[in-house]
């Protein structure tokens, strides 16, 4: 077990060299407000540089990540991140740029922002885009704010947003945060939206629909054109949650399906590092009639020069202090330029192939309620293992012992004991086969040795934790100074 960094500390150890202050320097109190000055020295460990490096390297190996092994987290697209993304985003002209620089000094930066907006519009079939949203849910919120502004521009104050019962949990949250109330739509026996239920709930008080396509079961909404037409007949706006865009690249575009708004997760679909608290990037793209509502400033090209324009009086305003998480955007830009059109097509085709390979293999041992050709992911169920006293959570914990991160569990809610699996295009057949072998062994253990699952994981740095304890017994310590 790795020790705390303070356990390595001994007085006199030095890990960094700083220049001495000149004796004639002004005291800090003459430069900074008194309330910002420390009352006592900070309690920092005294350690050498090798100790710091080894400590954090050891900590990094204790956590599971996509560079370590397979990370089949459903609905999150935890794909491998090519290291060239990091190398190029760390170039001084990108890493050291300041958002308050004069635009004349950041023409290359603005060119990247301008070009990736154009790429994202081409990929989605939309008219205009913004890079400001900092994550997928932030993109959702921005999109719903645009829906609200659109109806208000016509003198309407609609009350509701329709959301399928299989939607991402952030969809209702984004709607409510924008002042709407939500109405749930039922799924039919095929795992898609129940058209009759949609017809019965759509009216002039509904502002729009938030739809994930493919949905959270990994299934393409086969009646999407009819769904969109029903909403458009009442001048509603159809928003596509783009968290599952990894299934569509080069195959079909949201704009061609007549969606009005879509968000994209650069930190999912376009391979910028995902997890660990961020940062993320959740741009949205819109059709032409909604373009005037996009956040400002917008990057425009005048002749051969790029500039930031605020000349959009109908804009919803800023949704982020500056222009988006630029480092993440650069990484996504590199990914897009490296792959090109044909490469992006291969991404989705291989992701779909991998998902269906796993679906067919696991169907031999696990229930798959909607067992038909899927897109990039599918949802299995541990329901039949409950007769052995085994829950999906037990199986997820046991997977850690086999060196794999667990898939998403207990989501979507319409599948009991759900196990949501997304292999992405990054994984080889050999890796997928190792995962299948582990799932087969877990099935056998559930039948013949359930106690090993009840007490899993056994080989991780910590054993099974109480998932609710941190929420129920929140303990935040803060010491002034």
The mean pLDDT of 284-291, rounded to a whole number, is 98
Average pLDDT, the chain: 93
CA distance 132 to 125: 19
Name the segment(s) of the chain with CATH classification 3.40.640.10.
85-338
> What average pLDDT score do residues 333-345 get?
96
Assess whether pLDDT exceeds 80 at residue 384. yes
Q: Would you say 185 and 148 are in contact if contact means Cβ atoms under 8 Å apart?
A: no
Per DSSP, the three-state class of 299 is strand
Burial class (CB in 10 A: 0-12, 13-18, 19+), 476: exposed
Q: Give yes or no for residue 481 having a pLDDT over 50.
A: no
pLDDT tens by residue, 214-251: 999 999 999 999 999 999 999 999 999 999 999 999 99
Q: How far apart are the first and last CA of the chain?
A: 31
Q: Which helix (H) or strand (E) holds 245?
A: none
User: Average pLDDT for residues 82-92, to the nearest whole number?
Assistant: 93
**What distance in Å separates the CA atoms of residue 63 and residue 460, rounded to the nearest whole number?**
9
Task: Report whether pLDDT(175) > 80.
Answer: yes
Q: Coil, helix or strand for 161?
A: strand
- The answer to whether domain 85-338 has CATH 3.40.640.10 is yes
In this prediction the pTM is 0.89
User: For position 66, what pLDDT does the model report?
Assistant: 86
DSSP single-letter state for residue 262: E
- Angle at which helix 170-177 crosses helix 136-153, to 10 degrees, equals 40
Cβ atoms 75, 244 nearer than 8 A: yes
More confident residue, 182 or 474: 182
3-state helix, strand, coil in the chain (%, to 5): 40, 10, 50
**205: Cα within 13 Å, side-chain hemisphere:** 8
Quick one: pLDDT at residue 465? 81
Question: What is the C-alpha to C-alpha distance for residues 245 and 61, in angstroms, rounded to an integer?
Answer: 30
Residue 377: closest CA among 185, 191, 126: 191
pLDDT, tens digit, for every residue of 105-147?
999 999 999 999 999 999 999 999 999 999 999 999 999 999 9
């Amino acid at each position: 077990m790795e020790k705390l960094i303070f356990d390595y500390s001994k007085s006199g150890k030095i890990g960094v060299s700083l220049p001495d202050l000149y004796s004639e320097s002004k005291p800090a109190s003459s430069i900074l407000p008194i309330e910002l000055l420390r009352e006592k020295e900070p309690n920092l460990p005294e350690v050498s540089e090798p100790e710091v490096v080894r400590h954090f390297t050891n900590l990094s190996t204790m956590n599971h990540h996509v560079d370590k092994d397979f990370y089949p987290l459903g609905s999150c697209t935890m794909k491998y991140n090519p290291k060239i993304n990091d190398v190029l985003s760390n170039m001084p002209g990108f890493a050291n740029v300041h958002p308050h620089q004069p635009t004349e000094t950041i023409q290359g930066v603005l060119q990247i922002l301008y070009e990736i907006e154009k790429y994202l519009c081409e990929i989605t079939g939309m008219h205009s885009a913004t890079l400001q949203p900092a994550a997928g849910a932030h993109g959702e919120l921005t999109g719903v704010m645009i829906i609200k502004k659109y109806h208000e521009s016509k003198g309407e104050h609609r009350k509701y947003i329709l959301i399928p019962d299989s939607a991402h949990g952030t969809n209702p949250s984004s709607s409510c945060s924008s002042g709407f109330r939500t109405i749930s739509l039922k799924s039919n026996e095929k795992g898609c939206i129940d058209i009759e239920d949609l017809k019965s709930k759509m009216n002039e008080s509904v502002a729009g629909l938030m739809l994930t396509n493919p949905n959270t079961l990994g299934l393409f909404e086969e009646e999407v054109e009819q769904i969109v037409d029903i909403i458009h007949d009442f001048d509603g706006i159809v928003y596509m949650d783009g968290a599952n865009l990894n299934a569509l690249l080069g195959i079909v575009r949201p704009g061609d399906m007549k969606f009005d708004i879509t968000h994209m997760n650069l930190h999912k679909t376009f391979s910028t590092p995902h997890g660990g608290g961020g940062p993320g990037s959740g741009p949205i793209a819109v059709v032409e009639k909604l373009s005037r509502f996009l956040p400002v400033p917008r990057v425009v090209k005048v002749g051969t020069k790029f500039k930031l324009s605020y000349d959009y009086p109908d804009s919803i305003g800023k949704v982020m202090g500056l222009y988006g998480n630029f480092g993440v955007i650069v990484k996504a830009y590199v990914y897009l330029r490296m792959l090109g059109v044909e490469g992006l097509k291969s991404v989705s085709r291989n992701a779909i192939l991998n998902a269906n390979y796993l679906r067919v293999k696991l169907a031999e041992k696990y229930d798959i309620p909607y067992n038909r050709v899927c897109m990039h992911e599918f949802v299995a169920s541990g329901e039949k293992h409950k007769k052995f006293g085994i829950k999906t959570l037990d199986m997820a914990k046991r997977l850690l012992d086999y060196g794999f991160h667990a898939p998403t569990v207990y989501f979507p809610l319409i599948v009991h004991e759900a196990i949501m699996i997304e292999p992405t295009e990054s994984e080889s057949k050999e890796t997928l086969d190792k995962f299948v072998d582990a799932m087969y062994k877990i099935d056998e253990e559930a039948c013949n040795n359930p106690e090993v699952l009840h007490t899993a994981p056994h080989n991780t740095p910590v054993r099974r934790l109480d998932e609710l304890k941190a929420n129920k017994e929140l303990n935040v310590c803060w010491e002034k100074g």
